A and B are shown apart, each in its own frame.
Chain A
């Protein structure tokens, strides 16, 4: 069964460093999303992406964040200068055009900022 994959599963970085979190959505999906979940807290929407552009972004998704679809398969989230409060689980999700409401989530990348 096709699934969303994310790499790495765990990323440790120093405050101020740039990180790139990678996602490979399901191949025929057209909507892509990033969410984050700080440990023990609710899931928070970051950004959605459709037709090679950002569809919507939350107030969390400030200038430190960017997304890119560099090729036909990858979807990346970049954090330019990480802060301690960026430590969280980051989930990528995707959905297909004909069933856009069923989002398939990846296993997540745990980001730890020291």
Chain B
């Protein structure tokens, strides 16, 4: 069975400093991995996705993630945090059974301090 584990429930950074949100995955297959963002009282927005092409995936708003098979990780990074990045972030893996459902991590809430 596939799963994802988000290693931090909360991350706090200062504006202008780097962001690192950590995610480990478990999968018997080559996984399809996603990062979604949810701003307060809003819906889900896709940041980026990995589907076995380049291991470094660039997304929207300056975010990127690197797929590391040896470490079973898919960490999300951004060089410089903005106040508008404050939100909840979800690491997600696609199930490879016939449902092709998305399996969500528990989320990481990012706080950006002025």
Q: Do A and B come from one complex?
A: no
Chain A interface (Cβ within 8 Å of chain B)? none
